[in-house]
Amino acid sequence: MDIRKQTISSFQMSVLFFVFMTGSSIIFVPGPLIERAGNSAWVSLLLSGGTGFAILGMLLFLNRRFPSMTYIDISRKMLGSTITLLFGLLTMTYLFHMQAAIVVGVGQFMISSMLRETPMYVFTFLIFLISSLTARAGIEVMARMFMLIMVITAVSVMIVLTLALPDYHPSMLLPIMPKGIVPVFYGAYYTFGFPFVEIFLFGMLLPFTARKKRRLLPKHMLISLGVSTFLLCTVTLCSIMVFGAYAAENPYLLFSIARLVEFQEIIQRIESIIGMALILGSYMKTTITLFVLSLFMARLFRIKDSSVLVMPVALSGFLLGLVSYDSATQWFGIITTVHPLWTALVLFCPLLVVTLTAAIRQPSIQGTGPDTEPAQQGVAIENADGCTGQSPDAGDESPGDPESTGQSPDADDESMGNAGSASEINGVTGKKGSREQGSAAGGPKHSGSSAS
């Protein structure tokens, strides 16, 4: 099935958004965040979450203004092909690194916490292989699969946090800002780069929402972002209440909380559940990233079928994960220090420029207004062969199809048969028509433009 013709509901899009935001961040964010912000880590999440809502608001604005166009198509329309190509190449540098970072993070977790004797490339290769096969299947398959996986992952996390209630010590949450406000901004800087600025990727996915379901898309997306931010804050607070000042020394806090769970000497050592939740969450996020990166490259370079790029992109991510770092310490340094600045330059700034340009420019071209019907918009995406292709959610009908234009197949024969009578009528009324045309030509010039 052609992925360009696949559509999903607004609720399914919000599910993809939720698993993308919490897939790997629920494991990797709390530890480094507490190391930088201390007891005020949850405040840092609220600050960076505010920027996440701003980024999502920009994407929803662009989607409302251009409902059938991806981010690349909107950028080409607003800024031109040259600037779009420049911004796109800069964005691709991070997207390639991002897909490798997700899988390498899982590999680092597995060889340091669960399977210490297994080479890391075993985990990274398997995750990339399965993710690439899923991404090639299309966004509809992803939405249906991830619904069930999301429920399993979320229930597993909630069970672990509930069973750990006897180990919570709320007094460890105080003081909130023992070292002032600077650590709060440092933590917000880290969580801005991961995961909130990565919301940018959904600028390529929002056009896949079905036409009839777009009305509820902003509501579902905002709720999904709010729930994911709340879940990250909850895991961070629970980690502080369990470990206190020692929470900063453990990079995988949710996994460590699961190790402490002991209920009636029956339920013990359930950290493997969190390990599986991490693998599933990272698999879902890797799949979405592969799909978006392939679509991003296809739109940027005018390639007709983006699915042919999935396997090469996955292979490049696998190889990049093998050579991009020398040690785990260097890798965590890249994630916590370089990522926020990198994402701000290649993701946030181009999106801000495109949004401001779209807000300043008036919808002078037909079909750019939010209230225009998708069928009347006439928005076309240029393909590599010089033709024009429909937007991701466009139907199968072509403008030249008689059925789509409302004409019957015999309309041409009837019009030819009536040509003689029409010419006679025109001969009789020719003089009258010429007088009417002459009077119309002397009228106001703006009347013709308003009629059209």
| Cut 0.85: pTM above it | no
Question: Is residue 238 assigned to a domain?
Answer: yes
Assigned domain for 401 exists: no
What local confidence, expressed as pLDDT, does residue 380 receive?
Answer: 38
Domains: count for the chain: 1
Flag whether 367 is in a domain: no
CATH number at residue 117: 1.20.1740.10
pLDDT at 2: 56
Q: What is the pLDDT of residue 415?
A: 42
pLDDT, position 363: 63
The reply to whether 262 falls in a domain is yes
Q: What pLDDT is stored for residue 264 in this prediction?
A: 74
| Residue-by-residue pLDDT tens, the chain, 452 positions | 455 678 999 999 999 999 999 988 998 899 999 999 999 999 999 999 999 999 999 999 999 999 989 999 999 999 999 999 999 999 999 999 999 999 999 999 999 888 888 999 999 999 999 999 999 999 999 999 999 999 999 999 999 999 999 999 999 999 888 889 999 999 999 999 999 999 999 999 999 999 887 899 999 999 999 999 999 999 999 999 999 888 988 888 999 999 888 877 777 778 888 888 889 999 999 999 999 999 999 999 999 999 999 999 999 999 999 988 877 788 888 888 899 999 999 999 999 999 999 999 866 543 443 334 333 333 333 343 433 344 444 444 333 343 334 444 344 444 444 444 444 434 434 444 444 444 444 444 443 333 32
Q: What's the pLDDT score for residue 184?
A: 95
Task: Please check whether residue 428 lies inside any domain of the structure.
Answer: no
- Assigned domain for 414 exists: no
| Range(s) of the domain holding residue 120 | 3-360
Q: Is residue 24 part of a domain?
A: yes
Assigned domain for 101 exists:
yes
3-state helix/strand/coil string of the chain: CCHHHCCECHHHHHHHHHHHHHCCHHHHCHHHHHHHHHHHHHHHHHHHHHHHHHHHHHHHHHHHHCCCCCHHHHHHHHHCHHHHHHHHHHHHHHHHHHHHHHHHHHHHHHHHHHCCCCCHHHHHHHHHHHHHHHHHHCHHHHHHHHHHHHHHHHHHHHHHHHHCHHHCCHHHHCCCCCCCCHHHHHHHHHHHHCCHHHHHHHHCCHHHECHHHHHHHHHHHHHHHHHHHHHHHHHHHHHHHHHHHHHHHCCCHHHHHHHHCEECCCEECCHHHHHHHHHHHHHHHHHHHHHHHHHHHHHHCCCCCHHHHHHHHHHHHHHHHHHCCCCHHHHHHHHHHHHHHHHHHHHHHHHHHHHHHHHHCCCCCCCCCCCCCHHHHCCCEECCCCCEECCCCCCCCCCCCHHHHCCCCCHHHHHHHCHHHHHHHHHHHHHHHHHHHHHHHCCCCHHHHHHC
Predicted confidence at residue 3, as pLDDT, reads 59
Which pLDDT score is estimated for 269? Answer: 77
